């Protein structure tokens, strides 16, 4: 990790940001900032086979600052609730938390358009919410209840939403699927771009390089995003990869290194990526250097291959929420009172959803064969064996 994060304090030098999710409503008589916008400098990007990269400074409005802060807070709160539900044994099976990596998802989503699509790995709770699923829809899916976005049948690794293709449990398998979704955008001519996310642990998978090849052959509008959090399960990047410059691993596919702890940097890089792909230049590789606070999954304490001091240093010097909060307060875009209102609102929303996710009923056994196909051509589908077929049914109409 010393190679990956040579100087944590020095690392968090720049920053920038703009668009994001739903507006924040504040109704108290708190003191509000009078500044409408501010410009932030961004830590320099590293480029591979590109003459020009994303903007190194960006303007952020007060409205967008509040929106982004709220989304960062919601994602952190969802993961805190998820961890507690797992410890209570209400969430079962695998559970991978995103705490520490929120700036990647929030920054990217704030730059994306409605036509764009996302596919990621199994650390997907935050992305699911950002792509339109309610907090209850996420937490109920984790607890296996009917109000979950997959009716409680998918669990932590298989959450889906409109233009969001999961949540994929097989390491690296989402990469070729992402290339396929990008092919659909090009085939339809809808102008959409697919963001295919994977971790540094999946970066050495052969299927990833096959996806690079096909995407470049056909100049697909696909952005391959490596969320480099420093460790593939319990193995550091220095021990697993001969080259840790993941943004250059596409070889003939241009790439960009981005400070993944800076939500403004991730937003600006995503804007650049959309412009690049929609101009017909083909795919792009983006490496988002970030960090996860929890272990690989809930069964991993995360301290056998790194020290607690290392984790604490990142929390104190590079936390994506704390650092963004300090920036927007120091530039007088927001006031502490406004952020306190958001924190209170977020805490209430997540706490209520957590409580409801514990009490909602599970789906019945009749849904075992429900919604397997969008358009099922046969009345029955195979069950445990050919002699015991199941009748297919549509439970939730596709929108």
DSSP track, 131-161: TT--HHHHHHHHTT-TTSTTTTSS-TT---B
Report which DSSP code applies to 44.
P
What phi and psi values does residue 101 have, to the nearest 5 degrees?
-105, 10
β-strand pairing of 231-232 with 37-41: unpaired
- Structure letter (DSSP) for residue 2: T
Beta bridge partners of 59: 39
Question: What confidence score (pLDDT) does residue 4 get?
Answer: 42
Q: Are 72 and 320 in contact (CB under 8 A)?
A: yes
For the chain, state the CA radius of gyration: 21
C-beta of residue 70 within 8 angstroms of C-beta of residue 343: no
Alpha-carbon distance of 88 to 154, in angstroms, equals 20
> Is the pTM above the cut of 0.75?
yes
* CB neighbour list of residue 145: distance below 8 Å, 6 or more residues apart: 152, 357, 360, 361, 362
Pairing, β 284-289 against β 57-61: unpaired
Token pair 């609730």: residue: 81
131 phi, psi to nearest 5 deg: -90, 10
* CB-based contact 100:319 (threshold 8 Å): yes
Length of the chain: 399
Report pLDDT for 374. 85
Give the pLDDT means over successive 10-residue stretches in the chain (399 positions): 41 38 43 86 97 96 97 98 96 95 98 98 97 98 96 95 95 97 98 98 97 98 97 94 97 98 98 98 98 92 93 96 97 96 98 97 91 90 91 82
Nearest to 267 by CA among 21, 71, 120, 58: 58
pLDDT of residue 24: 44
Burial (Cβ within 10 Å: 0-12, 13-18, ≥19) of residue 22 = exposed
Handedness of CA 314, 320, 321, 327 (dihedral sign): positive
Token pair belonging to 391: 């009748």
Who's near 304: CB < 8 A, 6+ residues apart? 234
């Amino acid at each position: 990790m010393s190679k990956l994060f040579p100087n944590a304090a020095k690392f968090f030098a720049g920053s920038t940001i703009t668009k994001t999710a739903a507006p924040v409503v504040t109704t108290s008589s708190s003191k509000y900032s009078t500044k409408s916008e501010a410009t932030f400098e961004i830590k320099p990007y590293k480029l591979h086979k590109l003459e020009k990269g994303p903007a190194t400074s960006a303007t952020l409005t007060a409205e967008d600052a509040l929106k982004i802060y709220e989304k960062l807070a919601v994602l952190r709160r969802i993961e805190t609730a998820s961890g507690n539900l797992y410890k209570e044994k209400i969430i079962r099976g695998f559970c991978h938390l995103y705490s520490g990596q929120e700036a990647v998802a929030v920054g990217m989503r704030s730059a994306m358009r409605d036509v764009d699509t996302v596919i990621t790995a199994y650390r997907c709770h935050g992305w699911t919410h950002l792509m339109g699923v309610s907090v209850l829809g996420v937490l109920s899916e984790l607890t296996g209840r009917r109000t979950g976005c997959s009716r409680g049948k998918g669990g932590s690794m298989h959450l889906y939403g409109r233009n969001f293709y999961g949540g994929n449990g097989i390491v690296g398998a989402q990469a070729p699927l992402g290339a396929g979704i990008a092919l659909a955008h090009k085939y339809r001519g809808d102008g959409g771009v697919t963001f295919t996310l994977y971790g540094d642990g999946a970066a050495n998978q052969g299927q990833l390089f096959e996806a690079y090849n096909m995407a470049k052959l056909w100049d697909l509008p696909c952005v391959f995003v490596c969320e480099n959090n420093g460790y593939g399960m319990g193995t550091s990047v220095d021990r697993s990869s001969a080259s840790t410059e993941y943004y250059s691993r596409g070889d003939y596919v241009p790439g960009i290194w981005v400070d993944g702890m800076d939500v403004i940097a991730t937003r600006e890089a995503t804007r650049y990526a959309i412009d690049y792909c929609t101009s017909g230049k083909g795919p792009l590789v983006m490496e988002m250097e970030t960090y996860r606070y929890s272990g690989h999954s809930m069964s991993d304490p995360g301290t056998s291959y790194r020290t607690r001091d290392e984790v604490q240093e990142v929390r104190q010097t590079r936390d994506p929420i704390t650092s963004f909060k300090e920036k927007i307060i120091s530039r007088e875009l927001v006031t502490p009172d406004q952020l306190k209102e958001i924190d209170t609102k977020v805490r209430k929303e997540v706490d209520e959803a957590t409580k409801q996710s514990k009490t909602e009923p599970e789906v019945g056994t009749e849904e075992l064969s429900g919604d397997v196909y969008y358009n099922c051509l046969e009345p029955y589908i195979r069950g445990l064996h050919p002699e015991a077929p199941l009748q297919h049914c549509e439970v939730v109409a596709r929108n």
